[in-house]
Amino acid sequence: MGYIQPTYQSNSGIKQRQILARYWSKIFLGSILIAILALMVMLINVINDSYGYAAIEYEYDPSIYTPKPIEDLNKVELMKLLSENLSTYRWRTIQQDVSIDQLEVDEIRELVVEELLKPTVVASYSLIPSLFNRTEIHQEINFYHPEARIDFYSWLDFQFLIKSMSVVPENSGVRTAILGSLWIILVAGIFAIPVGIGAAIYLEEYAPSGKFKKIIQSNIDNLAGVPSIIYGILGLAIFVRVLKPLTSGTIFGLELSTGRTIISAGMTIGLLLLPVIIINTQEALRTVPMSLRQASYGVGATRWQTLWYHVLPAALPGILTGAILAISRGIGETSPLILVGASSFINKDPTNIFSNFTTLPLQIYYWTQRPQDQFRNTAAAAILVLLIMLLSLNAVAIILRNHYSRQSRP
Amino acid sequence: MSQPQNNHKAAISTRSLAIYYGDFRAVKDVDLNIVPRRITAIIGPSGCGKSTVLRAFNRMNDFIPTCHSEGEILYHGHNIYDSDVDPVSVRQHIGMVFQKPNPFPKSIYENIAWGAKINGYKDSLDELVEDSLTQAALWDEVKDNLTQSGLSLSGGQQQRLCIARALAVKPDIILMDEPCSALDPIATLKIEELMRSLSKKYTIIIVTHNMQQAARVSDFTAFFTMDEDRAGRMVEYGETSQIFTRPRKKQTEDYITGRYG
Amino acid sequence: MSIVDHPLPRQSDIVIYRKPRWTEGFIHVLLFICGSISILSTISLVIVLGHDALLFFLLPDVTLVDFLTGTTWLPSIGKYGVIPLVTATLITTFFAISVALPLGLSAAIFLSEYASQRTRGLLKPILEILAGIPSVVYGFFALTFITPLLRTLLGNDNVQIYNMLSAGLVMGIMILPLVCSMSEDALFAVPHSLRDAAYSLGSTKVEMIFQIVLPAALSGIIASVILAISRAIGETMIVALAAGSGSSFTFNPLNAAETMTGYIARISGGDIAYDTPEYNAIFAIGFLLFTTSFVLNLIGRRVTSRFREVYE
Ligand SMILES: Nc1ncnc2c1ncn2[C@@H]1O[C@H](COP(=O)(O)OP(=O)(O)O)[C@@H](O)[C@H]1O
Ligand SMILES: [Mg+2]
């Protein structure tokens, strides 16, 4: 290969080289197909674990509450069942949580099943075996759990979104985690987006080129490459420990005495996103043509007027896209929050920046670690929620970009 | 050095001006008195520092980090490179039109009105827009589409829009850096006519490498060239008719007769 | 000749002297502060890591030599040899690069040399999605799909439930898009004339790619690998979920072993008391991690800027 022998080169030599060329081109294509395959297998794997047959056993038999089958009871009878059999405390909490009189019959029946019969999942199956090995699954369940009811269970359903964490997988949900993720990314965004854009503007438009600018620039490039868990260490040391009076809210008169709060997590993620946002914004600013700046300076505009009225609007789609992509990176970050977050079980919704928190990725991490099989199902369902969130964010970024680039064209 | 002598004050005059990019001296020894309310053309081979000098006149060179200058540029007796001078104010008095038309990606109206607005213009913007566009000989073509984007115009119209935009700030002097080099001959002709009509009210300095253009539109011509060290300098400066018919310097004659190396 | 047709501005109209522009100055200062925050963040990183790592090394039974050469990492019984954590990190990184480099580079070659504009437009977003998936999801994938697959293929007795191979392979898929897009940039920077020259000498496309384009893009490709290594060393969630917890000094990739990041995640995930040896060890390991990735990134960017200089 490589030597060209014009006169005595035989035809077969060329043929071999061409066969080799074709063979390699298949390898190149194959590599990218493997990447795509991996993506698809990942998605299928997650969906596979989010749906499937589950064997459900009731802790309490319906017959101990009522002679009639529960399906035949009407609204009044169901209400009576609840009020008679629940502890007064529990009954009062339920009445506070949901306005029971306005519920449909079916909803109340669900409540009765939940509260009185206490169903537990004793075995769960993935989607693919559930679809193709139905009979074996039914036999297996009938053999091991003769009492159990077999249901096609959707781990990702509305209940999953509105329930918070629980020690039992089937009662677990991601509400607290979603709220935690949103609170944290809100704090991170409020800090990192303005500061990041400001820093980028400073570097691109103000900083005199020289040693100082070079140092800041290479510093930012380096920060972007620091492993995210290092930011967790930083967050633990600075926000959780050193700034504890601030981040726990004690100097604002709050009782809570831990620095492992939303504000600490948000600032940690914010610091992590800062270099990403700066670099993206710098790139967006660099695409604005010099001639536009000159036009503005030429009519006697100041630097800030030029930036505010011309450069920033022109760079806005790029800046926004960059910020949204950074936000979606921040939502998915897990390792820094392992250090900053509380290890204990969080099932209270965050209400302010001094609340304890859990996040969607953290929840996925904890559930994946659990020994019970069913937590694997909830982890998969939570991954689906996370991926849907991230995909919709990216879609927003793309739509924004297209919208603006169409607008600015003549 | 010959200078057009007259008893009026110069609009801009330079004293031993030298401009550097880092260590590289791009222009040296420029002594030039620009006559007010006239068109002065700066001609010369490319790379001799014409644009560099022009940008120095309204401190657009400030945006090139390596660029610095020596000597003086006097505008009504003030050295515009003095440390207590505000470059933004300088540009409000000395406007600029660039080589490639660069309208803002905004409406035609906004293109004109913006400069006046940020400079604290208090009177009717509508009148200002109409007046500026009329002066730039563009009003009749765009008066029905003022909300349209400035970018939707043709190249020649865009350049006239840029001229109108500069006029709206009510400048004293207008600098033009090869304003027609991106335009076709017909659009070029229009701009040249426009320049003639504007020269009654404004001092215009135009950089061009097109000698015919300089001969057609300007009252005075400054000829620049480069020395061996690649530093540009002014060879000759005088009334345009004199420069093109009776150049005093051999280098000028070589250049305008096309014998330039 | 009458010079003045239009009145000249009066001297008093010419106001070009500096006036206070408070907003401009204020904004300048504000932006400067924004720019400095990044410096502040680096300084506090160095101080935090340095200070607490120092506390760790000042512990009575810790010495730097033991730390760097010891082969047992059991802080609870006073064994502080970081080697097992480092080897586990290197083994997972090795497998990650073994996946990411050939696949990523081949994919880059396909995208830059073979794919039509349309195919590229179709394939690039897919790689971007792959790059945008959070690492905890990859960890789930490693534990619930790749590990069972490995155990089926290689035997349950040979492959432990937590093992470095599974984590490494999945990490490779995760950093594949990084290698691919950086290599593609490098390939793209090779001037087209070089390709034409190769063709005009009668070379086939593959000969052109291997003998002309790849060597010309080599420094960019090397940079992509260096940055990929840095990413793999710092990756946490995959190894925390799939590689195993509890350090062990083993070179068998089918065994469980804890990496540096894995240790940090496990220890800090539980409620450890501040200022215990375990807690301070986090900072020592973090310091090691930080300097490693810092140096790798520095080298990577040097190499990248070198190939930019050559062709731009
Ligand atoms: N931004 C710059 N940085 C460094 N050198 C420059 C820059 N702009 C122009 N020069 C150099 O200054 C000299 C004069 O350039 P210029 O004023 O653009 O010439 P002209 O307009 O006469 O063609 C040239 O040698 C050019 O290379
Ligand atoms: Mg020029």
pLDDT in tens, chain B (261 residues): 445 544 457 889 999 999 999 999 999 999 999 999 999 999 999 899 999 999 999 999 988 889 999 999 999 888 999 988 889 999 999 999 999 999 999 999 999 999 999 888 888 999 999 999 999 999 999 999 999 999 999 999 999 999 999 999 999 999 999 999 989 999 999 999 999 999 989 999 999 988 899 999 999 999 999 988 888 999 999 999 999 999 999 999 988 887 654
Domain CATH code at residue B243: 3.40.50.300
C10 touches chain B (CB under 8 A): no
Chain B residue with the nearest C-alpha to that of C21: B86
- Residues of chain A found within 8 Å of residue C24, distances taken between Cβ atoms: 302-304
Domain CATH code at residue A389: 1.10.3720.10
Q: What is the pLDDT of residues C32-79, one digit of tens each?
A: 999 999 889 889 999 999 998 888 888 888 888 888 888 888 887 888
Instruction: Give me the phi and psi of C163, to 5 degrees please.
Output: -150, 155
Min Cα–Cα distance to chain B from C301, Å: 25
What radius of gyration, in Å, describes the C-alpha atoms of chain C? 27
Q: Domain for residue A241, yes or no?
A: yes
pLDDT of residue A165: 65
Instruction: Give me the phi and psi of B28, to 5 degrees please.
Output: -140, 155
Q: How many domains does chain B have?
A: 1
> Are A138 and A207 in the same domain?
no
pLDDT of residue A151: 77
Q: Which residue has the tokens 């999605």?
A: C129
- Residues of chain C found within 8 Å of residue A45, distances taken between Cβ atoms: 141, 144-145
Chains that touch A (3 or more CB pairs under 8 A): B, C
Question: From the list B91, B98, B103, which residue is nearest A300 (CB)?
Answer: B91
Per-chain mean pLDDT for chain C:
88
Sequence-separated (6 or more) residues with CB below 8 Å from residue A206: A303, C28, C31, C32
- Would you call B152 and A410 a contact, using CB atoms and an 8 Å cutoff? yes
Distance CA B39, CA B208 (A): 12
DSSP state for residue A354 in the 8-state scheme: T
At A150, is the secondary structure helix, strand, or coil? strand
Residue A157 or B261, more confident: A157
Q: Which helix (H) or strand (E) holds A51?
A: strand A51-58
C58 touches chain B (CB under 8 A): no
pLDDT of residue B163: 95
> Are A119 and A144 in the same domain?
yes
pLDDT of residue C6: 56
Structure tokens given for B40? 């002065």
Distance CA B113, CA B130 (A): 10
- Would you call A295 and B60 a contact, using CB atoms and an 8 Å cutoff? no
**Residue type, position A296, single letter:** S
> Is pLDDT at C11 greater than 80 in this prediction?
no
State the helix-helix crossing angle for A228-235 and A262-286, rounded to 10 degrees: 130
Chain C stretch 58-77, residues whose beta carbon is closer than 8 A to a beta carbon of chain A: none
- Residues of chain B found within 8 Å of residue C11, distances taken between Cβ atoms: 76-77
**What is the band of C273 on the pLDDT scale with cuts at 50, 70, 90?**
confident
Mean pLDDT throughout C104-114?
Answer: 94
- Would you call C42 and A207 a contact, using CB atoms and an 8 Å cutoff? no
Other CB atoms within 10 A of residue A405 CB? 11
> Are A158 and A208 in the same domain?
no
**What is the band of C309 on the pLDDT scale with cuts at 50, 70, 90?**
low
Q: How many domains does chain A have?
A: 2
Distance CA C169, CA C150 (A): 11
Structure tokens given for A118? 């206490």
**Residue type, position B200, single letter:** K
Probe site for chain A from B67, B92, B102 (most A CB atoms < 10 A)? B102
DSSP state for residue C44 in the 8-state scheme: H
> Are A198 and A159 in the same domain?
no
Q: Which of A164, A197, A223 is the last residue of a domain?
A: A164
Nearest Cα residue to C283 out of C302, C299, C296, C268:
C268
Sequence-separated (6 or more) residues with CB below 8 Å from residue A130: A51, A52, A53, A137, A152
Sequence-separated (6 or more) residues with CB below 8 Å from residue B153: B103, B108, B142, B161
E-only strand ranges, A251-368? none
Q: Which of A164, A190, A209 is the last residue of a domain?
A: A164
pLDDT of residue B161: 95
> Are A327 and A366 in the same domain?
yes
> Are A206 and A349 in the same domain?
yes
- Beginning with the edge strand found earlier in the chain, give each strand of the sheet holding B232-239 in spatial order: B78-79, B67-75, B12-21, B24-34, B232-239, B220-226, B39-43, B203-207, B173-177, B94-97
Distance CA B79, CA B73 (A): 5
Looking at the DSSP assignment, which residues form a beta bridge with residue B95? B174
In the reported structure, the alpha carbon of residue B51 is separated from the centroid of ligand 1 by a whole-number distance in angstroms of 7
> Are A193 and A329 in the same domain?
yes
Q: Domain for residue B166, yes or no?
A: no
Identify the CATH homologous superfamily for domain C73-307: MetI-like (1.10.3720.10)
Q: List CB-based neighbours of ion ligand 2 within 5 Å.
A: B 51
Chains that touch B (3 or more CB pairs under 8 A): A, C
Nearest Cα residue to B164 out of B118, B199, B131, B207:
B131
Please report which ligand is nearest the Cα atom of B27.
1
pLDDT of residue C55: 87
Q: Which of A136, A164, A192 is the last residue of a domain?
A: A164
> Are A139 and A202 in the same domain?
no
Q: Which helix (H) or strand (E) holds A55?
A: strand A51-58
- What are the DSSP calls for chain B, one per residue? ------SSPPSEEEEEEEEEETTEEEEEEEEEEEPTTSEEEEE-STTSSHHHHHHHHTTGGGGSTTEEEEEEEEETTEETTSTTB-HHHHHHHEEEE-SS----SSBHHHHHHHHHHHTT--S-HHHHHHHHHHHTT-HHHHTT-TTSBGGGS-HHHHHHHHHHHHHHT--SEEEEESTTTTS-HHHHHHHHHHHHHHTTTSEEEEE-S-HHHHHHH-SEEEEEEE-TTS-EEEEEEEEHHHHHHS-SSHHHHHHHTT---
Parent domain of B90: 12-99+172-256
Question: What proportion of chain A, given as a percentage, has pLDDT over 90?
Answer: 41
Min Cα–Cα distance to chain A from B54, Å: 12
> Is pLDDT at A172 greater than 80 in this prediction?
no
Q: Domain for residue B178, yes or no?
A: yes
> Is pLDDT at A1 greater than 60 in this prediction?
no
Parent domain of A343: 175-408
Q: What is the pLDDT of residues A255-286, one digit of tens each?
A: 766 888 999 999 999 999 999 999 999 999 99
Nearest Cα residue to C171 out of C253, C63, C106, C114:
C253
Distance CA C192, CA C142 (A): 41
> Are A119 and A139 in the same domain?
yes
CA distances from A241 to A232, A248, A258, A327, B3 (A): 12, 10, 9, 26, 75
- Residues of chain C found within 8 Å of residue A34, distances taken between Cβ atoms: 103
Give the lowest-confidence range in A192-196, A205-209, A290-294, B159-163: A205-209
Per-chain mean pLDDT for chain A:
84
- Would you call B98 and A295 a contact, using CB atoms and an 8 Å cutoff? yes
Structure tokens given for C245? 């917890």
At A119, is the secondary structure helix, strand, or coil? strand
> Are A292 and A179 in the same domain?
yes
Give the lowest-confidence range in A133-147, A213-227, C53-67: A133-147
Cβ–Cβ < 8 Å for A292, A408: no
Mean pLDDT throughout A178-186?
Answer: 94
Nearest Cα residue to B256 out of B224, B227, B234, B229:
B224
